[in-house]
Each structure stands twice: as C-alpha cells, then as structure tokens.
Amino acid sequence: MLIFAIGDTFSNIMGRKYGKKKWPHSNKTCIGTITGIILSFPFAYVFTNNLIIAAIGAISGMFAEAYSPVNDNFMIPLASFVSMSIIWII
C-alpha cells in the first residue's frame, strides 16, 4: 500500500508540474512514473529488506499506474503485490 500511497501521489504531482513526454499509448508522463518508482522504492525496501523485490514492486506498481485501463487505485497495489510475491517464491 505504501507503493501506492507514495508512488501515486508524487507521480501525479511531478507529472502535472514537470511532465511533458508521455508514455506511448498512455496519458501518464515519463517523469511522473520515474518519480513514483524512485520515491516508492525505499518504502518497499524497508518492508521487504530485499533490493530486487523492492525494485520489482516499485517498477511494476508504477507501470501499472501508467498503463492500467481501469482505476489505478486498484491496479497499483495488485500489480505490486503479485509481482513481489512471484519474485519472492522464485
């Protein structure tokens, strides 16, 4: 949930203020997504204590936000949880 709370909030702020370039086939900005990844990663790491799992969770959550055809409030936590769980199992 922290990936969603931090990443979604700050990606929105930075994307609206500084975002010019958008992802292909999306209305979300590159700078917003990158900001979300950078700021949500440390919070994911605190809870997982694993750099790879935290990075995968932050990246998948923010790209789910960028490309989700449905409400990103649902997709960010779901994408993060599923991807982090798969990596944890592997």
Q: How is residue 59 written in tokens?
A: 């990246």
What is the pLDDT at residue 29? Answer: 94
Interatomic CA distance for residues 62 and 89, integer angstroms = 22
Residue 14 has pLDDT above 90, yes or no: yes
State which H helix or E strand residue 85 sits in. helix 72-89
Distance CA(1)–CA(4), nearest Å, equals 5
Compute the distance between CA of residue 42 and CA of residue 63 in angstroms, rounded to an integer: 17
Per DSSP, 21 falls in state P
> How do the domains of the chain map onto residue ranges?
2-15+29-89
Token digits for 41?
């990663």
> How do residues 18-58 score in pLDDT, each as one tens digit?
999 999 999 899 999 999 999 999 999 999 999 999 999 99
